Amino acid sequence: MSGLNLLCLPNDILVLLPAFLHNIEDYLNLAATCRTLRECMGTATPKTILRLAAAQSKIFFRPSPHFLVAATARELGHWARRSAANEQDLAQKMEDGIDGLLGLVLAHCTITLGRIRELFSMRFSIMNPVTDIIDQCVGQQWLSTPNFWNGGVDDAYTISADPSETFFHLVIYGELFGPDFEPILSQNHDARRLRVETRLEFIKYCVPDFACQQNGYIDAQDTRLPDGTLDPRRDVKNTGPYRRNDDSGRPDQIYDNNIALTWVIKSSRWKAHWAVIRAQAAPDFDDNFDDGWWYDEDDGEDWRQRLWETVMVCQGLEGLGMIRPGIQDQWVDKIREWKDKVARLDREPHTTKVGRQGTLEYPFLLGDLRICASGYVAGT
């Protein structure tokens, strides 16, 4: 009996092992032991792979849980579109922040080892380079600009941000809501899209910011309903990232995530990268378009430029390859196709107003951010 080992077990038993492993490191080590175990580990389901990856998200999939949520958010969005009940579950889980989304991901999504390898390859081709651009817009590189407060930059402001998290906030928004552009552009009125209210829940709780909280900066009259209650689209509960600390009675310190993402989108450094790839695809609708600090329904034909630019920015992880040399060329035909579809629309998609701020029927990230920070000095 002393000669017995794991390989003495039949393969139909060995293939069950992944369900009993603790984490992805155990799985990879076991698979690397020998050919038999590698073949048996290869039968692990994508749901099992996701569970094992989540068990070590703080080690191999940082920032945690943003990385794994971003990797699965598109599938989660498709699940939410299947029914109103699913979307309601999604919106409710968003109140727990990104951690809440990870729990929903583990229940309804999957990932393969091949996809994980693709994602780690994209760390070098997309994630790290684009995060570096974001750092130049709101991070330490931006703050280190000589003469920062006296003309060194044209958008000087006190912002506490983690460029890596800001990157993933943009990615997750695009993965979740980006698919809703196609029904708008194709004028498919029967396709089910995620609601504006769901997008606002994501911004409030998954891109948390002091500016989003109900506080002294809020213009109460601006965001209250006729009965005096706060508009639920603007209200922020003391839950998730805003849960009060037992010792201090206040939420733990959070980054200026909303303001940081707004600043990135508005930054001349950021916009310059997108202007380069748009110029390769087709002329702009408006060469001088500048989306101000509030949504203006009287922008005339500028709405086409707004829509075209927003479609491009909100395409998720792979979509950010549009501003990466060596990758961006493969996007030119798609960008041109989007412009052609925008040109065929006869009117701007419907507007949703919350107080003085407005967003649009399509995933208008800048409008969503402004609504959730309305009343704050930068989101007025």
Distance of alpha carbon 11 from alpha carbon 41, whole angstroms: 10
Amino acid 217: pLDDT = 46
The token pair that represents 366 in the structure block: 């800048």
Backbone angles phi, psi at 226, to 5 degrees: -55, -30
Instruction: Specify which of 60-64, 239-243, 318-322 reaches the highest per-range mean pLDDT.
Output: 318-322
Q: Convert the pLDDT of each residue in 263-280 to its tens digit.
A: 999 999 999 999 999 999
Q: Convert the pLDDT of each residue in 166-176 to its tens digit.
A: 999 999 999 99
Instruction: Specify which of 7-11, 51-55, 312-316 reaches the highest per-range mean pLDDT.
Output: 312-316
Pairing of strands 351-354, 357-360: antiparallel
Q: Convert the pLDDT of each residue in 189-207 to its tens digit.
A: 889 999 999 999 999 999 9
The pTM for the full model equals: 0.92
Instruction: Give the percent of the chain with pLDDT over 90.
Output: 65
Which residues in the chain belong to E strands, given as ranges? 351-354, 357-360
Reply yes or no on whether the pLDDT at 221 is more than 60: no
Residues 227-244, mean pLDDT to the nearest whole number: 85
Reply yes or no on whether the pLDDT at 344 is more than 60: yes
**Are residues 199 and 77 in contact, defined by beta-carbon separation less than 8 angstroms?**
no
Task: Count the Cβ atoms, other than its own, within 10 Å of residue 19.
Answer: 12
Distance of alpha carbon 69 from alpha carbon 117, whole angstroms: 16
The candidate with the shortest Cα–Cα distance to 207, out of 238, 177, 168, 179, is: 168
Helix/strand/coil for 159:
coil
Backbone angles phi, psi at 196, to 5 degrees: -55, -40
Distance of alpha carbon 118 from alpha carbon 112, whole angstroms: 10
In eight-state DSSP terms, residue 169 is H
Task: Count the Cβ atoms, other than its own, within 10 Å of residue 51.
Answer: 20
The token pair that represents 274 in the structure block: 């997108």
Reply yes or no on whether the pLDDT at 236 is more than 80: yes
Distance of alpha carbon 301 from alpha carbon 231, whole angstroms: 31
The candidate with the shortest Cα–Cα distance to 208, out of 101, 133, 80, is: 101
Of the listed ranges 64-78, 218-232, 308-322, the least confidently predicted one is 218-232
Query: Where do the domains of the chain lie?
Result: 124-372
What residue type is 61 in one-letter code?
F
**Are residues 308 and 285 in contact, defined by beta-carbon separation less than 8 angstroms?**
yes
Residues 108-131, mean pLDDT to the nearest whole number: 95
The token pair that represents 260 in the structure block: 């940081």
The token pair that represents 248 in the structure block: 């201090």
